[in-house]
Amino acid sequence: MSAAQARPGDYSQVPNPEHALKYAIHHIAGERVEIVEGVITPVSPSWAHESAVDLVREQIGPRLRELGLRAGSGNLDLPGTENFYVPDLAVVPAGLAKTEGALVPDQTLLVVEVTSPSDAETDRTAKRRRYSQYGAPVYLLVDRQERTCTLFSQPGQLGYTLVEGPHPFGVEVRLPEPLDVVLDTTEF
């Protein structure tokens, strides 16, 4: 008796589709990609997008050094889901920043996403919900299309329970402890 051959597009025989999907994105040569709700998406930010990320990084940098923290855009896995994110910026303890593999959102102190025209709704809804479910303590959404910043904290399974904003660009936004930094959003 021979084993039945799978038809193209039939993944019913894949032992663990989540692992297979995440394995596949790690082997796409030369591409930085993330998975959002099962959809593989290339990460290729514009200069304007990167400028906003850099402005956040500059402002929080001195405080991160004081606290022994690091900021970067390392991978965040959401085990048990078809999600694997590349945040625009995440703040983690220095020891975790040496990790070769992905971290999970509850290992961060802050996650920052800056919207682009192609993914603004993803950052506003899917990522906000998932970061909360996976325990990211603080999520800062810099919405370039709406020209606002919103700070989400106190995560839970149904979403963040504390929402500050949206604040129009130009209004200062205070990041909570332990960062306790006031962000100038004028140039975002």
| C-alpha to C-alpha distance for 104 and 136, rounded to whole angstroms | 8
Who has greater pLDDT, 10 or 140?
Answer: 140
- pLDDT at 39 (0 to 100): 84
- Residue 69 located in a structural domain: yes
Q: What percent of the chain has pLDDT over 90?
A: 72
Residue 115 domain-assigned? Answer: yes
Number of separate domains in the chain: 1
77 - beta bridge partners? 84
pLDDT of residue 1: 43
Distance CA 31, CA 66 (A): 34
Residue 36 lies in a domain: no
Q: Residue 130 is part of a domain; what is its CATH number? A: 3.90.1570.10
Contact 133, 155 (CB under 8 A): yes
More confident of the two residues 71 and 27? 71
Examine residue 142 and state whether it is found in any structural domain, yes or no.
yes
Which tens digits make up the pLDDT trace of 130-167?
Answer: 999 999 999 999 999 999 999 999 999 899 999 999 99
The range of the structural domain enclosing residue 153 comes to: 45-183
Range name among 41-50, 89-98, 111-120 with the lowest pLDDT average: 41-50
Question: Residue 136: inside a domain, yes or no?
Answer: yes
Give 77's contacts (C-beta < 8 A, 6+ positions apart).
Answer: 22, 83, 84, 101, 102, 103, 104
* Run of H or E including 164: strand 162-168
In a domain, 35, yes or no: no
Alpha-helix runs per DSSP H in the chain: 17-26, 47-67, 120-121, 127-133
Strands 138-143 and 110-114: parallel
Phi and psi at 65, nearest 5°, equal -65, -40
Asked if the structure places residue 32 within a domain, the reply is no
Decide if 4 is inside a domain.
no
Position 40 scores a pLDDT of 83
pLDDT at 88: 97
Mean pLDDT of the chain: 89
